[in-house]
Amino acid sequence: MIQFKNVSKVYQPDSVGVKNINLRIKEGEFVSVIGRSGSGKTTLIKLIIAEEVPNDGEIVIGDWDISNIRRNDVAYLRRQIGVVFQDFKLLPRKTVFENVAFALDVCGACNQRIREIVPQVLRIVGLEGKDDRYPLQLSGGEQQRAVIARALVHSPKILVADEPTGNLDTLNTQEIMDLLKKINDFGTTIFLVTHNREVVNSLKKRVITLDQGLIVSDEEVGRYKL
């Protein structure tokens, strides 16, 4: 599903993003990536979604080598990879329905498809009945659910979640993690980057630890050890 083969990304001679990364994530896995600030986590995400390309090595998503992906193909790749960030990035003047529909609209989806897909994903994330509300009328947890719904509209094979609970309290954090596990149960590969020790330890899933751009630990059932 995701393969990194001897991948390095160097921004400047003295600024290494990742160095000689070898990594294989199978379809349907739930993987947590941890590491201190500057360890390479953000670079890893940027490489997966083709926001950056490696200086060396090969990156394969499915059967697709994206190491030197053409810029015209990036949008197509990102329809297969849903992305959720800590910052909700919802459009404040659009309703929940409109925010989620926007991801389809910009790709040229017809109104009929939008009317079919949006209620489905809102139901999956538990926001049915709140489609006409605006972001400021939602709790932090509900806003993140709307972001996840938007990430699901193209039925992605991979969901990249970058600190998705960073702005949430304990209760909402647990609810978002339960939702990610539910999505994983559907067969979607989850690539989670987090600093939350409790989240990582409660998952009892694979944990990859980065330090100074290197993978220093990769445990099938890991714990947060920083």
pLDDT at 107: 87
| Integer angstrom CA distances of residue 53 from 4, 65, 120, 124 | 12, 11, 34, 33
Span 19-62, pLDDT tens digits:
999 999 999 999 999 999 999 999 999 999 999 999 999 999 99
Between residues 213 and 87, the one the model is more confident about: 213
The arithmetic mean of pLDDT across residues 190-212, rounded, is: 96
Instruction: Indicate if the pLDDT at residue 145 is higher than 80.
Output: yes
User: pLDDT tens-digit profile of 180-196?
Assistant: 999 999 999 999 999 99
Q: What is the pLDDT of residues 62-120, one digit of tens each?
A: 989 999 898 888 888 888 999 998 887 899 999 999 999 999 998 899 999 999 999 99
Q: Which pLDDT does position 3 carry in this prediction?
A: 97
Predicted local confidence at residue 78, as pLDDT: 86
Domains of the chain plus CATH, in order, are 2-92+159-219 (3.40.50.300)
Q: How many CB atoms lie within 10 A of CB 170?
A: 10
Q: Is the pLDDT of residue 178 over 80?
A: yes
Lateral strand order in the sheet of 56-61: 15-25, 2-12, 56-61, 64-65
Confirm whether pTM is higher than 0.85. Answer: yes
